[in-house]
């Protein structure tokens, strides 16, 4: 089960490609019908017994283009308080790229892998950890997730799978040239997403607002992302990274998320993730994901990832991962849905305000997405407060999500919920 659905038969309303769940120009008026929650990513959570676990789901090492050995990465994140970790090295980098690029001395190189190489080396995941000089996750009191960053074309994080694009099938113009499979056919994003799913894995689309000044990146329009999520089932492609970019590009990613939710919810959830994209310990995005799980197992984390059973946090600027302070962020203690009165109530601590956000004022493009960091409208704030009345707030359509905000001087600490699917009935 990938997420909780409270309304029977809603899947029958999903028009897989030609989605008609929201008009091109949504109105700011409240629905004439009765709004109710039909998708609740936290519907399976017992807030009194489930545990919160901090996760780093986008991390690199010397096995691709990172600066640190695998054991050092694992030990550092463990000491920082993370209990869930996925090392997502790039599938198109050889180990020790930082030595090849003369960013590090030769003596800093990793010797791994040792012995027989993985069959798709160097596109293989950095997994299991014991093959790279570390202890097992269980011995460290952690959950390790097999991961890989698929780097050809749009970057995609693969989890719970050994999928990777073989390096010898690519050309020097990678990631946008010469990418073919065994039959000589070009490999595109949907091929990768399907390939991961066929191997039992999950995928997340990474850092959409990355700059086109990089030779390895092309920005995409909203419609491209809509096609990815309507072409691939929710038990394969689960979401996007919402907070993995510098502050000036933040509105690109958050705005894209709202635009997708406006078009696809409640029938096709797009879960939001926070990934710090660590290459060097002392220069990372100040963001992470918090999972809500009843058992400290890989299976429980995967189930939560599919359900959207987590929230994520973000603070401005970059920092040292060794200086992360989880206590600086708002903490969600309970989310209650009253179906009789059609309200959602968040009980939390360490916050100054809670904003509830729904469909943007317009779905029209406002600027060139290739060059602008604000090419589309952000979601509209429809209410401030701990309790949202779904039927007395104008502008609620298709979804609503919450942002919990704490202000400390010039620093703003935010906690993002995943979206709740909203349906209107007369």
* pLDDT at 176 exceeding the cut of 80: no
Domain limits of the chain?
4-425
- pLDDT tens digits for 219-261? 999 999 999 999 999 999 999 999 999 999 999 999 999 999 9
Query: Any idea what the Cα angle at residue 52 is, between residues 46 and 58, rounded to 5°?
Result: 130
**What percent of the chain is modeled with pLDDT above 90?**
82
At 172, the pLDDT band (50, 70, 90 cuts) reads low
* pLDDT at 1 exceeding the cut of 60: no
Contact predicate 281/322, CB 8 Å:
yes
Highest mean pLDDT among 111-125, 169-183, 408-422: 408-422
Three-state DSSP state, 143: strand
- pLDDT tens digits for 365-404? 999 999 999 999 999 999 999 999 999 988 999 999 999 9
Highest mean pLDDT among 118-122, 175-179, 314-318: 314-318
d(CA 238, CA 197): 11
- pLDDT tens digits for 285-311? 999 999 999 999 999 999 999 999 999
d(CA 36, CA 33): 10
* pLDDT at 192 exceeding the cut of 80: yes
d(CA 102, CA 44): 50
When mean pLDDT is compared across 59-68, 164-173, 187-196, 198-207, the lowest value belongs to: 164-173
Using a 10 angstrom Cβ sphere, with 0-12 exposed, 13-18 middle and 19 or more buried, the burial of residue 406 is: buried
* pLDDT at 20 exceeding the cut of 50: no
**pLDDT mean over 272-291:** 98
Looking at domain 4-425, its CATH superfamily turns out to be Metal-dependent hydrolases (3.20.20.140)
**pLDDT mean over 5-11:** 37
Q: According to the model, what pLDDT value does residue 188 have?
A: 92
- Where is pLDDT greater, at 88 or 26? 88
Helix H segments across 117-244?
137-140, 189-198, 222-231
When mean pLDDT is compared across 49-63, 159-173, 211-225, the lowest value belongs to: 159-173
């Amino acid at each position: 089960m990938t997420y909780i659905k409270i309304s029977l038969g809603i899947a029958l309303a999903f028009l897989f490609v030609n989605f008609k769940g929201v008009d091109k120009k949504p109105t700011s008026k409240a629905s004439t019908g009765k709004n109710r929650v039909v998708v609740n990513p936290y519907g399976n959570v017992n807030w009194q017994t489930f545990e919160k676990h901090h996760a780093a789901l986008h991390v690199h090492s010397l096995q691709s283009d990172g600066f640190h050995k695998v054991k050092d990465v694992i030990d550092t994140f463990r000491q920082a308080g993370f209990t869930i970790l996925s090392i997502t090295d790039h599938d198109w980098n050889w180990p020790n790229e930082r030595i090849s690029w003369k960013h590090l001395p030769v003596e800093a190189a990793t010797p791994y892998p040792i012995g027989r190489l993985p069959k798709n080396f160097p596109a293989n995941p950095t997994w299991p950890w014991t093959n790279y000089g570390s202890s097992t996750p269980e011995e460290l009191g952690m959950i390790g997730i097999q991961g890989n960053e698929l780097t050809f074309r749009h970057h995609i994080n693969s989890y719970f799978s050994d999928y990777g694009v073989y390096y010898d099938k690519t050309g020097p113009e990678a990631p946008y040239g010469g990418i073919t499979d065994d039959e000589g056919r070009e490999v595109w994003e949907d091929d990768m997403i399907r390939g991961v799913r066929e191997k039992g894995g999950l995928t997340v689309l990474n850092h959409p607002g990355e700059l086109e000044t990089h030779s390895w990146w092309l920005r995409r329009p909203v419609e491209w992302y809509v096609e990815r999520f309507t072409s691939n089932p929710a038990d394969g492609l689960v979401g996007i990274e919402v907070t993995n970019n510098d502050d000036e590009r933040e509105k690109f990613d958050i705005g894209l998320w709202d635009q997708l939710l406006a078009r696809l919810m409640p029938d096709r959830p797009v879960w939001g993730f926070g990934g710090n994209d660590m290459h060097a310990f002392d220069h990372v995005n100040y963001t992470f994901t918090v999972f809500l799980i009843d058992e400290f197992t890989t299976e429980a984390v995967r189930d939560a990832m599919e359900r959207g059973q987590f929230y994520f946090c973000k603070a401005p600027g970059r920092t040292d991962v060794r200086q992360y302070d989880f206590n600086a962020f708002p903490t969600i203690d309970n989310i209650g849905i009253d179906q009789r009165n059609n309200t959602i109530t968040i009980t939390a601590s360490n916050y100054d305000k809670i904003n509830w956000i729904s469909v943007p004022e317009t779905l029209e493009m406002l600027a060139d997405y290739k060059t602008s960091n604000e090419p589309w409208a952000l979601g509209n704030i429809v209410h401030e407060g701990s309790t949202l009345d779904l039927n007395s707030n104008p502008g609620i359509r298709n979804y609503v999500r919450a942002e919990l905000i704490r202000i400390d001087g010039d620093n703003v600490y935010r906690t993002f919920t995943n979206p709740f699917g909203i349906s209107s009935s007369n």
